[in-house]
Structure 1
Amino acid sequence: MPAEMTAENEKRGEVRKFSYDTQTYEGDASHPMHKEAWVYLPCGYDESRKYNVLYLLHGGGANQDWWFKDYPDTVTILDNMMAKKICEPCIIVTPTYYRGEEADKDMDITEHFRYELRRDLIPAVESAFSTWTEGDVSEENLVKTRSHRAFAGLSLGSMTTYRAAFYNNFALFSWYGPFSGCCGPQGERDPEVERIRKTLAEGEARGLKLDYLFCCNGDKDIAYPEHKEIMEKAEQACPQLVRGKNYDFYTIPGGVHDMKAWQLHLYHALQIFFC
């Protein structure tokens, strides 16, 4: 990444706290759970135009503050990318799959987040901001506008990218950025290959196009061996994956499991998403 990407830019976007309610978990419609996310709005955000949306997740043990508040230089990188027209201005949402201290520790959050994502988060965000849904967050319109929606995440968020967004909400997203992992170092690899194959085959049968699956990792990252093996097998098993057209596995030589790598992954992903 060019050094100029981390230099302060006068054309700054805005990071807003976004509150919404979810009925996905315990409680009922009269007692929904209150959650928060951060929303990046590009410099010059204009409610009269329509913006693509990237939903961007943190890793294990972090929360919605990770990308923009814990690492504010992420915002500077975004400001520079958009000001220099390296990528199109877009809205970026950083939620959390965690539910607070009361969360069920036995629940696989990487799978279960799919419900909150579909039922609560996307409708709340895309009703509040100017997106391609134009305020219509019906199931039919969310599917119709899927090419204007991306999902990416790091580490446990990378696993969530596969499980919550790709496998279980393929009808709502056509751009994906798994950064550092698929099933985790102790996970079973062949079942993940089969899930990728099945998702793409069923999507193709429904006329749902994959715009891009941009996998990223560093070759010294703890998650690299399993991620690389799974995607090599998936590329062989899935005729829908065409390297350089709608799929790539981007590797940082010497890259490890850290924020420097993940910011670089985001920098490259945004040059691909929505193009």
Structure 2
Amino acid sequence: MKQTFFVAFMIFSFIVNAQKYTESTPSGFDVSRPNIPHGKIDTLVYHSETVGTNRRALIYTPPGYSSSNKYPVLYLLHGIGGDEKEWFNQGQPQVILDNLYAEDKLAPMIVVLPNGRAMKDDRAIGNIMAPDKVAAFAAFEKDLLNDLIPFVEKNYPVLADRDHRGIAGLSMGGGQSLNFGLGNLDEFAWVGGFSSAPNTKTPELLVPDPEKAKQQLKLLWISCGDQDGLINFSKRTHDYLEANEVPHIYQVIPGGYHDFNVWKDNLWQFSQLLFKSDCMLGSQQMPDPKFYIFLCFGQSNMEGNARIEAQDTIHVSERFRVMATLDCPELNREKGQWYTAVPPLCRCNTGLTPADYFGRMLVDSLPDDIRIGVINVAVGGCKIELFDKDSCAEYIATAPSWMVSWIKQYDDNPYGRLVEMAKEAQKAGVIKGILLHQGESNTGDHQWPVKVKKVYENLCADLGLSYDAVPLLAGETVNADQGGACASMNEIIDNLPSVIPNAYVVSSKGLAVIPDKLHFTAAAYRELGRRYAEKMLELIRPVVVNH
């Protein structure tokens, strides 16, 4: 589900201390992946003095779980028509969390899924709105605090303090989470309400002491779909918190209903913020969705072959940034840090690249509050196989020595370096597209589009990107109208969109070349960069619509 406040534009706005937070969930975020480590779901049975009987809950332990470690705990609550298995059966939290662990996006945690209906017959049968069943949801507060949490902390290796304890839930469970979490800030520092139901207390009762809440909360998350008839319960809470400057994240999901499409999405986003030391609301550094990041890779024409001229080093906007992909002491650049995008943008001694004027044109064409960042990993002369993480070692083993020396600067893994830097960049902004210029060394290879597709899909999977949200732009080699030595490859490159639906080809027609007929002139690189930018602007230019 696309999480946007504006059509075709993700916006991240700060209102005093309230954060309106959105991020796109990638396709397949809730689909089980066979070749990753998996956590484990078990049933626990605890005795409830509150109810006077033994009760059941599910418990998820993360991949790599060990009794020698200690873990924070999230208590994840169901809705009025569910029980301890509702999340498991319809939301598959174990799949969502396993996938996030595989992408290194979660702090290791235990998740407990209790039955929030604290009564002897706690089944979700008959009239679920019967007064005794509704009352049992309120009674669960005592069962949770006095019976379930002590059982978990006695029998599992957990960190037994408020800083390592969270509570969240959907619908009726969302109301419970806000009621119990905000009502017991000495027990919970992390609180989330997903589409909270009418059982949610009024804001004045939820947070009678805003100053205390400001001091004790590490994360307060409130979310609801705009098509949900219960949205006013979330909105009134947000309005009160905003008026009292209590830090929180408030999310309204366009097109979102009262269903698991919303709640799975909420869990995917909420869980990534839990139990992290830098997630103190009000000071947390969240990715800025107005910082557009673009990944660039390929061979020499992306690396930068033309000599950098004086005009290329002046009037570079501070809004145009480059992340250094290796240490360049002579440029005063450190790997993984952002700098104003004065060339070279690839390695320490490379030349002018299409990325230079791609970024310049985007900065000139987009609103002043949009920043542009590029990450460029390219190796002259390489085939696309160098960026295939499954076969790059085999390719390097037969590469010429001059190419190997460049590859070594990326620790013999250019693809891995690109992913490493991209993950670092995702802490600061949002990846909006991928630029490729490569093909000369694969001239005549009709499997090239399929090979590119594999690299593209690997990037999306490794970075948690959605295929339909991150376009791939591929530039043609030197054109036949310039006598291009590899011009025949353009027919293969032009076929890429038929293999990758969100791929687009940037024409090289009319772009001047140097005598080798393989590389463009500096002027042509500037124009090629602008052509990449023109296409990208068609795809990402924000269309602001009041919602």
| TM-score above 0.5 | yes
Write the mapping of 1:98-117 to structure 2, written as runs, cut at 5 A. 98=117, 99-101=119-121, 105-106=131-132, 108-117=135-144
Identify if the C-alpha distance between structure 1 residues 109 and 164 changes in structure 2 by more than 3 Å, giving closer, same or farther: farther
Query: 1:252 matched to which residue of 2?
Result: 253
Identify if the C-alpha distance between structure 1 residues 110 and 43 changes in structure 2 by more than 3 Å, giving closer, same or farther: same
Identify if the C-alpha distance between structure 1 residues 192 and 55 changes in structure 2 by more than 3 Å, giving closer, same or farther: same
Whole-angstrom CA distance in 1 between matches of 2:212 and 2:275: 23
Tell me, yes or no, if the aligned pair for 1:150 and 1:175 is still in contact at 8 Å. Answer: yes
Whole-angstrom CA distance in 1 between matches of 2:167 and 2:112: 10
- 1:218 alignment partner, one of 209, 218, 225: 225
Whole-angstrom CA distance in 2 between matches of 1:218 and 1:72: 17
What's the CA shift for 1:172? 0.5
Query: 1:14 matched to which residue of 2?
Result: 40
Structure ranking higher on relative contact order (CA contacts 8 Å, 6+ apart)? 1
Tell me, yes or no, if the aligned pair for 1:52 and 1:132 is still in contact at 8 Å. Answer: yes
Q: Does 1:92 align with 2:111?
A: yes
Q: Does 1:66 align with 2:86?
A: yes
- 1:196 alignment partner, one of 196, 199, 206: 206
Q: Does 1:270 align with 2:271?
A: yes
Tell me, yes or no, if the aligned pair for 1:39 and 1:94 is still in contact at 8 Å. Answer: yes
Show structure 2 runs of 5+ residues with no match. 1-24, 124-129, 277-547
1:116-170 CA distances to partner (integer Å, 9 max, x unpaired)?
Answer: 111000000111111113xxxxxxxxxxx10100000000001111222321x22
Whole-angstrom CA distance in 2 between matches of 1:97 and 1:114: 8
What's the CA shift for 1:53? 0.5
SS in 1 for 2:87: helix
Query: 1:28 matched to which residue of 2?
Result: none
Query: 1:75 matched to which residue of 2?
Result: 94
Number of residues of Structure 1 aligned to a counterpart in Structure 2: 242
State the one-letter code of the partner of 2:73.
Answer: V
What's the CA shift for 1:102? 7.4
Write the mapping of 1:13-162 to structure 2, written as runs, cut at 5 A. 13-25=39-51, 32-68=52-88, 70-71=89-90, 73-98=92-117, 99-101=119-121, 105-106=131-132, 108-133=135-160, 145-162=161-178
State the one-letter code of the partner of 2:81.
Answer: G
State the one-letter code of the partner of 1:270.
Answer: S
1:208-265 CA distances to partner (integer Å, 9 max, x unpaired)?
Answer: 61101011111111211231123212320x33x12xxxx1111211110001110100
SS in 2 for 1:124: helix
1:51-75 CA distances to partner (integer Å, 9 max, x unpaired)?
Answer: 110000000121000112x136331
SS in 1 for 2:202: helix
What's the CA shift for 1:114? 1.3
1:2-26 CA distances to partner (integer Å, 9 max, x unpaired)?
Answer: 123224243110001010000113x
Computing the radius of gyration over CA atoms, which structure comes out larger, 1 or 2? 2
State the one-letter code of the partner of 1:211.
Answer: K
Whole-angstrom CA distance in 1 between matches of 2:239 and 2:91: 34
SS in 1 for 2:252: strand
Whole-angstrom CA distance in 1 between matches of 2:26 and 2:230: 26
What's the CA shift for 1:202? 4.8
Whole-angstrom CA distance in 1 between matches of 2:196 and 2:209: 18
What's the CA shift for 1:105? 3.1
Tell me, yes or no, if the aligned pair for 2:43 and 2:56 is still in contact at 8 Å. Answer: yes
Whole-angstrom CA distance in 2 between matches of 1:233 and 1:164: 18
Query: 2:26 matched to which residue of 1?
Result: 2
What's the CA shift for 1:182? 5.2
TM-score by length of 1: 0.81
State the one-letter code of the partner of 1:177.
Answer: G
What's the CA shift for 1:100? 4.2
Tell me, yes or no, if the aligned pair for 1:42 and 1:90 is still in contact at 8 Å. Answer: yes
Whole-angstrom CA distance in 2 between matches of 1:255 and 1:131: 35
Tell me, yes or no, if the aligned pair for 2:207 and 2:213 is still in contact at 8 Å. Answer: no
SS in 2 for 1:220: coil
Show structure 1 runs of 5+ residues with no match. 26-31, 134-144
Whole-angstrom CA distance in 1 between matches of 2:197 and 2:242: 14
